[in-house]
Amino acid sequence: MTWNTTYIGNELNLFYGKSYPAKNRIKGENPVFGSNGIIGYSKNYLIEGPGLIIGRKGSVGEVHFTEKNFWPIDTTYYVQTYKNNYLKFWFYLFKYINLTKMNTHSAVPGLNRDMVLKIKCNIPDFNEQKRIADILSSLDDKIELNNKINSILEQISQAIFKHWFIDFEFPNDDGKPYKSSGGEFIDSELGKIPKSWKIVVLDQLIKRNNEKINYKNNWQDLYLVDLSNMPQLSICINTFDRGNKLDSNIYKLNKFDILYGSIRPYFGKAGFAPINGCITGTIFSFKPKNECFYSFILFLISSRKFIDFTIKFSRGTKMPIINWSDFVAYKVAIPDKIEILNKFNSIVFKLINIISLNINQNLTLENIRDTLLPKLITGKIRVSL
């Protein structure tokens, strides 16, 4: 069948969201959407799902989809389609159109509703819309599943770290939990620690990677990690830019480098590099001097205690920053027996490696999706029955 050339306004309408302050929300399972995505959850909802939400103010043109009932706040539009239209198809069509380029306000970014509705495009019938959306959704669903698996693996790793090195229930010589089995403790400047453990500074355990990238090299196509790519309080880095985003202060990034955001309010952005690439100068990149410390250090610097340390010793007023010399002055208790660290790393690094594999698979899936998207949405590739 041929596709129909029409205006978007003939196929759907955009409606304004409604204000819903956080103080008025009753905790629940329904997502509350702002222009940049989910900003909370509530027992109440404004619109029954599935839903398509578009950023109206602030994050102009950002497009979000949910299967759940939802509440779009007043910085968004929500979409209602007319007959013979498949909502998920329009999610991908708006992604293709890239509404983020349609800012019509100078001070506060804004998206003009009438301009969107007057966009002309070619639209397939309902059945082909659904087939196109199903193909693209299958890729997004796999990406989302990988991210959920990674979140669970990270939670498991954090739990093991806490059990061993915060609660001091690491296995003793008999394989039993140290503290619960009557393990001895001594007083130290960090409080009570297992007998024969020692206090060291981070500088004794890690070495910094501070290698600048030569601008004569082909760095523009490298994967880039900057502070915007690093999630808060998670070691999993799921999004990447490209080196051509920057024109200065670009440093080499090696796979499995440990990363930490050095500028406040980005303390707490800690993780590991699942790929080779480049980073900005606002991120510390380092590795342990001894590989057995890898997992220990990764979860040490992502702990609340370490984040509070970096906040306390940051310097400056506008954009406080922690210097490397202060960063590596952090004191930590470590086991006297290297076998404990080796055993912890052998368990946890397997989980970290799975996380890395899932992130790399997602990059491949995203590349496939982004290659297919314009071809499917414009009909250059037709989906047969």
**Four-residue CA torsion sign, 109, 229, 367, 147:** negative
Place 105 in a pLDDT band, splitting at 50, 70 and 90. low
DSSP β-ladder status, 206-208 and 283-288: antiparallel
Q: What mean pLDDT is predicted for residues 65-83?
A: 96
CA distance 116 to 249: 38
Task: List the structure tokens of 250.
Answer: 């670009």
Q: SS3 for 368? A: helix
Alpha helix ranges (H) inside 46-197: 87-97, 113-117, 126-165
Residue 117's pLDDT is 96
DSSP β-ladder status, 198-201 and 206-208: unpaired
Domain 4-123: give its CATH code. 3.90.220.20
Task: List the structure tokens of 174.
Answer: 């008999």
Place 28 in a pLDDT band, splitting at 50, 70 and 90. very high
138 half-sphere exposure, CB direction, 13 A CA radius: 7
Share of the chain above pLDDT 90, in %: 81
Domain 176-338: give its CATH code. 3.90.220.20
Residue 315's pLDDT is 87
Q: By C-alpha distance, which of 70, 97, 136 is closest to 370?
A: 136
Chain centroid to CA 272: how far?
12
User: What's the pTM value of the predicted model, to 2 decimals?
Assistant: 0.90
Q: Of residues 19 and 317, which shows the higher confidence score?
A: 19
Task: List the structure tokens of 173.
Answer: 């010589």
CA distance 63 to 79: 10
8 Å CB contact between 67 and 45: no
216-231 pLDDT per residue, tens = 667 778 899 988 889 8
347-362 pLDDT per residue, tens = 999 999 999 999 999 9
CA distance 359 to 50: 27
259-290 pLDDT per residue, tens = 999 998 888 899 999 999 999 889 999 999 99
The pair phi, psi for residue 202, each rounded to 5°, is -60, -30
157-205 pLDDT per residue, tens = 999 999 999 999 999 999 999 999 999 999 999 999 999 999 999 999 9
Chain centroid to CA 123: how far?
33
Residues of the chain with CATH 3.90.220.20: 4-123, 176-338
CA distance 192 to 376: 62
153 has pLDDT over 90: yes
Task: Transcribe 193-218 into DSSP letters.
Answer: EETT-EEEEGGGTEEE--PBPPTTS-
CA distance 77 to 63: 10
8 Å CB contact between 14 and 77: yes
Total count of residues recorded for the chain: 385
108 has pLDDT over 90: no
Q: By C-alpha distance, which of 242, 274, 279, 248 is closest to 262?
A: 279
